[in-house]
């Protein structure tokens, strides 16, 4: 187990190097000067030269890369060309919002997708099954921006049941930062008004972001359960005279969870990276919006920072999934 | 019994998680209910006890929503973007200022000033207002002014060229004569008129020396000033949350008329649909830059007023005067006569005004004279005179994305291509990123480019020198248009002290550039604000710094 984790971590290291090389040299191919983007058309030549020098853009690409990597090894992500701040500081400001949103969306999709998928499989071809499949079809095919606008239009602008875009009402101050996740922080500090407000703000965006993964999880659960139901050991269990509930909980669901777990892992990765649209619609100050602005202003240290965060998170989540296989499935352990 | 327990053993996890999930769902709908009341009526919200974590009540708070993505600094010596300048303009004050809607310079920190010709230099002497104090309660002194300007020159960030290049200010020429008297000497090439406009901008804002020095760190306090303010303005910086926006708090020691709102929140909202929703629901009191579509929807809203503000920028086409066939003055004039300006203005649906001269509306020297109207016959005659063959091709470089006024650059470009085709010229549209276009343009390599220009400071010279003076290496240079007459006139006008004579010089120059220059000037964009009906005292004036005076805004 330990060797397995170590191997994964070493792998992660190579992934990071690969990602940084690719991102860095892609940025060099773009025929645009980040200094021009940052300073605009009114800038004098002298200013542009000074800016390029300050940001180290006047050095050859290879030198820039080596200096970048040598800083990176020391945990320094460099300085953003656009905001002129340490990228790590920017990420600290923007990443928690994305993490909170993705977690919430994952909770939504697990709580809706898995139970619905189970029900649909167990009552195959019933009305419940048809409804669940309809949910999966609609959820899987509706564009995120449409769902988001629809939910906002209905619950915020028309009914006024839920607050609008943003993580908090404008007049409410964020809770003392511990994790940067408002719901968690306000819970930890016992700040109830902020907890209520941040929770209410989280509902619509997490539903919007979670609806697609709900559909994926629902389908996955349904087909996995159906497949296990056909297995010999299920028939044997029934033949032994085991009560139906026990067969389902003990034999069917547990075995069906392995592919579902894989899907959860993949889904979480895509939630993190797919939050851009949801963040835009809900004015959610997350990494997606930071990345978009950074890309359009060719702020390569910032883009690298975002890419590296994603490059670390994705394998990390997959590693966690792999570890959980070990825990729930003895067959993986013996292999 | 045994079996029942085992059943529970397997069931408890799903059952408990389902129960928890439904609890959570109910919990999240419940707190939303009171929110309904507070968004509907502000009175109700203020009647409710102030919740923990809420600094000032909604009634005492002005919420201003705008796209603040460009915000990178709140240090007046560094910021050169709308969001930063708008916020800083409430924290810091300059020696002189404009009043909204009035192009005449007014006193602010300086109660009076005079300009003396001292041989080879101008000497400008400012008498500071003895009442002026910083938020700390300490008086604003000439020493603070010298420190602030020297600091801006030393830091040498984006806006510093205004002092260094435009004003040609050197640290040696700044002097605190006594606590209330500040003196600056300028070379004769600098127009004192232009200089007074330049120092109404935040680059010349006065910071409190003692406070900044105490927190200077390794960057003269720039980093510290992003999270703190050290000025004499009506508001102080409460908090800049990089991902959300800026909170401004009323300066309790303000030496002038106290601001009306206790708190101003500048909220970063970049989506047009969100701006519209925020003003409809009253979640925001003022929203900036509504699109034509949003404005049309909000027109009949009984709770919202639409206020149209004039920008200072101009959208134009640059034609390189050395690249055939545009090297011929008649061909450039023919293109100006080929375009149907009325169609362009109607495409922009009220978000722009027709302007065909290099000085925008609102500036001294603007003539309001638009001599060009589509005249295909005349344009064809001019082309024939120039001897340009039918079907001659011209490369037209157009940025991707949205032009000022909220319309795609490509839509406007296609319209122009179509107009120009009628006189027998073929425009080949090439779309590139704006930054790539700038690279081409700055290298004098564009044949015909489509772009926007905004002046660096609120004086006609901020446009005239770039557009007319080839030696300034700005727009005239980028279009390779070297006209000795235009250069001489632009220098003469900048130096002229008498406003009437200056206006006359600009009129001559405007006409010269209009007919012989390398530009087709198309329009001056406007920006549309949504303002709740209960808001008083809102004005937008692009000439003034900041363009919106938050401290004059109140609620009925």
Burial B33-50 (b: 16+ CB within 10 A, else e): eebeebbeebeebbeeee
Res B15 pLDDT > 80: no
Domain assignment present for B289: no
Res B331 pLDDT > 90: yes
**Interatomic CA distance for residues B19 and B448, integer angstroms:** 67
Res B547 pLDDT > 70: yes
Tell me what the mean pLDDT of segment A297-322 comes to: 84
Res B303 pLDDT > 70: yes
Q: Give contacts of B280 with chain A, Cβ < 8 Å.
A: 157
Confidence at residue A40, expressed as pLDDT on a 0 to 100 scale:
72
Question: What is the sign, positive or negative, of the torsion defined by CA atoms of B315, B321, B323, B329?
Answer: positive
Question: Measured between CA atoms, how close is B72 to chain A, in angstroms?
Answer: 5
Confidence of residue B450 (pLDDT cuts 50, 70, 90): very high
Q: Is there a single domain that holds both residue A15 and residue A105?
A: no
Q: Is there a single domain that holds both residue B383 and residue B466?
A: yes
Structure tokens at B29: 């709908």
Query: Is A280 within 8 Å of B270 when comparing Cβ atoms?
Result: yes
Neighbouring-strand partners of residue B315? B452, B523
Q: Is there a single domain that holds both residue A168 and residue A225?
A: yes
Domain assignment present for A55: yes
Domain assignment present for A81: no
Q: Give contacts of A42 with chain B, Cβ < 8 Å.
A: 454, 456, 466, 474
The boundaries of the domain holding residue A19 are: 2-73
Domain assignment present for B106: yes
Q: At CA B273, angle to CA B272 and CA B274, rounded to 5?
A: 90
**Interatomic CA distance for residues B346 and B349, integer angstroms:** 5
Confidence of residue A334 (pLDDT cuts 50, 70, 90): low
Query: Is A246 within 8 Å of B6 when comparing Cβ atoms?
Result: yes
Q: Is there a single domain that holds both residue B176 and residue B128?
A: yes
Query: Is B21 within 8 Å of A111 when comparing Cβ atoms?
Result: yes
Domain assignment present for A79: no
Helices of type H across B357-447: 376-386, 409-421, 434-442
**Interatomic CA distance for residues B475 and B464, integer angstroms:** 10
Residue B350, sorted as left (phi over 0), alpha (psi -120 to 50) or beta, turns out to be: left
Q: Give contacts of A175 with chain B, Cβ < 8 Å.
A: 53
Q: Is there a single domain that holds both residue B219 and residue B346?
A: no
Nearest CA in chain B to A242: B3
Mutation target for A interface from B51, B265, B473: give the one with most A CBs within 10 A.
B51
Confidence of residue B86 (pLDDT cuts 50, 70, 90): very high
* Domain-ending residue, one of A41, A73, A105: A73
SS3 label, residue B268: strand
Tell me whether residue B131 is exposed, middle or buried, using C-beta atoms within 10 angstroms of its C-beta: 0 to 12, 13 to 18, 19 or more.
Answer: exposed
Q: Is there a single domain that holds both residue B465 and residue B518?
A: yes
Would you say A7 and A14 are in contact if contact means Cβ atoms under 8 Å apart? no
Q: Name which of A14-28, B51-65, B424-438 the model is least confident about.
A: B51-65
Q: Give contacts of A29 with chain B, Cβ < 8 Å.
A: none
B100 versus B23: the higher-pLDDT residue is B100
**Interatomic CA distance for residues A166 and B76, integer angstroms:** 28
Domain assignment present for A297: yes
Tell me what the mean pLDDT of segment B463-485 comes to: 94
Scanning B224-243 for CB atoms below 8 A from A yields 239, 241-243
B186 versus B17: the higher-pLDDT residue is B186
CA proximity to A87, closest of A285, A291, A276: A291
Q: Is there a single domain that holds both residue A143 and residue A233?
A: yes
**Interatomic CA distance for residues A117 and A224, integer angstroms:** 9
> With an 8 Å Cβ cutoff, is A189 touching chain B?
no
* Domain-ending residue, one of A73, A105, A121: A73
Q: Domain with B443 in it: what CATH number?
A: 3.10.105.10
Q: Is there a single domain that holds both residue B323 and residue B244?
A: no
Structure tokens at B166: 């435009």
Domain assignment present for A334: no
Please state, as a whole number, how many other Cβ atoms lie within 10 Å of the Cβ of residue B490.
Answer: 30
Q: Is there a single domain that holds both residue B541 and residue B485?
A: no
Confidence at residue A268, expressed as pLDDT on a 0 to 100 scale:
85
Res A320 pLDDT > 90: no
The boundaries of the domain holding residue B224 are: 2-48+56-264+533-555
Q: Is there a single domain that holds both residue A54 and residue A98?
A: no
Res A306 pLDDT > 60: yes
Domain assignment present for A65: yes
Query: Is A149 within 8 Å of B273 when comparing Cβ atoms?
Result: yes
Domain assignment present for A335: no
B378: Cβ–Cβ under 8 A, 6 or more apart, which residues?
A: B334, B337
ipTM for the complex shown: 0.84
Tell me what the mean pLDDT of segment B138-153 comes to: 97
Q: Is there a single domain that holds both residue B77 and residue B147?
A: yes
Question: Measured between CA atoms, how close is B545 to chain A, in angstroms?
Answer: 18
Q: Is there a single domain that holds both residue A57 and residue A125?
A: no
Q: Is there a single domain that holds both residue B449 and residue B537?
A: no
| Mean pLDDT taken over chain A | 86
Q: Is there a single domain that holds both residue B460 and residue B547?
A: no
% of chain B residues with pLDDT over 90: 70
Confidence at residue B36, expressed as pLDDT on a 0 to 100 scale:
36
Nearest CA in chain B to A180: B243
Count how many domains chain B has: 2
Q: Is there a single domain that holds both residue A290 and residue A318?
A: yes
Query: Is B441 within 8 Å of A41 when comparing Cβ atoms?
Result: yes
Domain assignment present for B358: yes
Domain assignment present for B142: yes
Mutation target for B interface from A171, A202, A277: give the one with most B CBs within 10 A.
A171
Q: Is there a single domain that holds both residue A114 and residue A21?
A: no
Structure tokens at B193: 């008129």
Q: Is there a single domain that holds both residue B172 and residue B231?
A: yes
Q: Is there a single domain that holds both residue A55 and residue A8?
A: yes
Confidence at residue B20, expressed as pLDDT on a 0 to 100 scale:
53
Q: What CA dihedral angle connects B485, B491, B497 and B499, to 10 degrees?
A: 50
% of chain A residues with pLDDT over 70: 99
Q: Is there a single domain that holds both residue B356 and residue B381?
A: yes
Would you say A208 and A150 are in contact if contact means Cβ atoms under 8 Å apart? no
Judge if pTM exceeds 0.90. Answer: no
Q: Is there a single domain that holds both residue A194 and residue A309?
A: yes
Q: Domain with A303 in it: what CATH number?
A: 1.10.3720.10
Q: Domain with B27 in it: what CATH number?
A: 3.40.190.10
Count how many domains chain A has: 2
Domain assignment present for B241: yes
Q: Is there a single domain that holds both residue B194 and residue B245?
A: yes
Q: Is there a single domain that holds both residue A221 and residue A287?
A: yes
Nearest CA in chain B to A283: B269
Domain assignment present for A85: no
| Mean pLDDT taken over chain B | 88
Res B35 pLDDT > 70: no
Q: Is there a single domain that holds both residue A245 and residue A324?
A: yes
Q: Is there a single domain that holds both residue A16 and residue A43?
A: yes
């Amino acid at each position: 187990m330990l060797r397995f984790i170590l191997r994964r971590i070493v792998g992660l290291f190579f992934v990071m190097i690969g990602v940084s090389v690719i991102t860095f040299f892609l940025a060099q191919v773009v025929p645009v000067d980040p200094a021009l983007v940052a300073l605009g058309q009114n800038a004098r030549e002298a200013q542009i030269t000074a800016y390029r020098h300050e940001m180290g853009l006047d050095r050859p690409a290879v030198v820039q890369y080596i200096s970048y990597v040598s800083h990176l090894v020391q945990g320094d992500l460099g300085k953003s060309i656009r905001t002129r701040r340490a990228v790590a500081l920017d990420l600290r400001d923007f990443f928690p919002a994305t993490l909170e949103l993705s977690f919430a969306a994952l909770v939504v999709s697990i709580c809706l997708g898995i139970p619905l998928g189970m029900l649909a499989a167990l009552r195959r071809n019933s009305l419940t099954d048809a409804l669940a499949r309809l949910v999966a079809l609609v959820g899987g095919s509706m564009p995120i921006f449409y769902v988001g606008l629809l939910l906002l239009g209905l619950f915020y602008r028309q009914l006024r049941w839920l607050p609008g875009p943003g993580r908090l009402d404008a007049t409410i101050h964020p809770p003392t930062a511990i994790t940067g996740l408002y719901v968690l922080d306000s819970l930890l500090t016992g700040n109830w008004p902020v907890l209520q407000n941040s929770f209410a703000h989280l509902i619509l965006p997490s539903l919007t972001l979670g609806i697609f993964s709900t559909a994926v999880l629902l389908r996955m659960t349904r087909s996995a359960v159906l497949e296990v139901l056909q297995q010999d050991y299920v028939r044997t269990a029934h033949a032994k005279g085991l009560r139906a509930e026990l067969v389902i909980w003990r034999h069917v669901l547990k075995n069906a969870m392995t592919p579902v777990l894989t899907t959860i892992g993949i889904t979480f990765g895509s939630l993190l990276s797919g939050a851009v649209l949801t963040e835009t619609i809900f004015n959610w100050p997350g990494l997606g919006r930071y990345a978009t602005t950074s890309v359009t202003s060719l702020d390569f240290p910032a883009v690298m920072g975002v890419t590296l965060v994603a490059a670390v998170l994705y394998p990390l989540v997959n590693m966690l999934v792999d570890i959980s296989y070990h825990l729930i499935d003895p067959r993986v352990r013996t292999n | 019994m045994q079996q029942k327990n085992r059943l529970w053993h397997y069931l408890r996890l799903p059952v408990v998680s389902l129960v928890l999930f439904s609890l959570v769902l109910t919990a999240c709908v419940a707190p939303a209910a009171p929110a309904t009341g507070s968004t509907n009526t502000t009175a109700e919200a203020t009647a409710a006890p102030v919740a923990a974590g809420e600094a000032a009540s909604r009634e005492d708070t002005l919420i201003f929503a705008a796209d603040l993505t460009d915000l990178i600094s709140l240090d007046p010596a560094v910021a050169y973007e709308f969001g930063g300048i708008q916020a800083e303009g409430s924290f810091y004050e300059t020696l002189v200022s404009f009043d909204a809607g009035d192009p005449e310079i007014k006193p602010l920190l300086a109660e009076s000033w005079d300009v003396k010709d001292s041989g080879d230099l101008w000497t400008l002497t400012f008498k500071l207002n003895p009442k002026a104090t910083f938020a700390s309660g300490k008086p604003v002194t000439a020493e603070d002014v010298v420190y602030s300007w020297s600091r801006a020159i030393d830091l040498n960030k984006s806006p510093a060229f205004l002092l260094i290049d435009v004003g040609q200010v050197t640290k040696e020429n700044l002097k605190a004569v006594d606590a209330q008297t500040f003196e600056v000497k300028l070379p004769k090439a600098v127009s004192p008129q232009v200089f007074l406009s330049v120092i109404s901008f935040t680059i010349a804002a006065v910071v409190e020396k003692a406070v900044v020095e105490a927190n200077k760190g390794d960057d003269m306090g720039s980093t510290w000033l992003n999270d703190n303010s050290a000025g004499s303005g009506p508001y102080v910086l409460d908090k800049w949350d990089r991902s959300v926006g800026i909170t401004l708090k009323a300066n309790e020691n303000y030496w002038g008329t106290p601001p009306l709102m206790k708190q101003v929140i500048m909220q970063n909202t970049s989506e047009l649909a969100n701006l519209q929703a925020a003003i409809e629901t009253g979640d925001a009191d003022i929203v900036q830059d509504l699109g034509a579509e949003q404005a049309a929807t909000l027109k009949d809203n009984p709770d919202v007023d639409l206020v149209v503000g004039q920008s200072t920028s101009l959208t134009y086409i640059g034609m390189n005067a050395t690249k055939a066939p545009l090297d011929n003055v008649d061909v450039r004039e023919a293109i100006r006569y080929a375009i149907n300006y009325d169609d362009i203005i109607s495409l922009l649906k009220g978000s722009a005004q027709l302007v065909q001269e290099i000085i925008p509306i609102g500036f001294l020297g603007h003539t309001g004279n638009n001599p060009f109207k589509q005249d295909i016959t005349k344009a064809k005659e001019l082309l024939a005179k120039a001897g340009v063959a039918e079907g001659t091709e011209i490369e037209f470089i157009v940025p991707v994305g949205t032009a000022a006024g909220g319309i795609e650059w490509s839509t406007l470009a296609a319209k122009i291509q179509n107009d120009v085709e009628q006189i027998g010229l073929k425009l080949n549209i090439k779309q590139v990123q704006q930054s790539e276009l700038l690279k081409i343009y700055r290298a004098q390599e564009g044949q015909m480019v489509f772009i926007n220009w905004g002046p660096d400071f609120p004086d006609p010279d901020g446009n005239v020198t770039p557009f007319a003076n080839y030696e300034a290496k700005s727009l005239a240079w980028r279009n390779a248009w070297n006209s000795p007459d235009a250069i001489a006139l632009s220098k003469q006008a900048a130096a002229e002290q008498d406003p009437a004579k200056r206006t006359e010089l600009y009129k001559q120059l405007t006409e010269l550039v209009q007919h012989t220059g390398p530009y087709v000037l198309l329009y001056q964009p406007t920006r549309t604000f949504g303002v709740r009906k209960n808001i008083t005292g809102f004005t937008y004036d692009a000439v003034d710094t900041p363009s919106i005076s938050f401290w004059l805004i109140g609620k009925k």
